[in-house]
Amino acid sequence: MDSMCAGMGGHQQMIQSGKVKNARECTLECVKMGATFVLYNPATKTTYELDNQKTPAQFAGEKVDITGTLDAATHTIHVEKITAATS
């Protein structure tokens, strides 16, 4: 997800506005406007910053599994690997 929509809890506002068609388009558009790629957990409403901003682009708007190290103080994940979610 992108940091702008994570702050709103999802992409619904942008999709309903008609500016984008789906979560992928929304994420990529928001990043173009200055947002960053983040990992968002909707169950806990927690956002994690990602130190790698290139790899997430190919997974924009999708559910993913991330392997890395969490810096709990800054809520930043030092990304080692991103894959499409298996569940």
pLDDT digits 0-9 by tens, 22-34: 999 999 999 999 9
pLDDT at 86: 85
Q: Which residues are within 8 A (CB) of 8 and not within 5 positions of it... i.e. 6 or more apart? A: none
| pLDDT of residue 2 exceeding 80 | yes
Closest of 41, 5, 3, 6 to residue 20, by C-alpha: 5
Q: Give the number of domains in the chain.
A: 1
Closest of 55, 53, 79, 84 to residue 67, by C-alpha: 79
Query: How much is the average pLDDT of 57-84?
Result: 96
pTM of the model: 0.89
Domain of residue 73: give its range: 3-84
pLDDT digits 0-9 by tens, 32-61: 999 999 999 989 999 999 999 999 999 999
pLDDT at 87: 72
Residue 46 sits at φ, ψ, to 5 deg, of: -110, 135
pLDDT at 31: 97
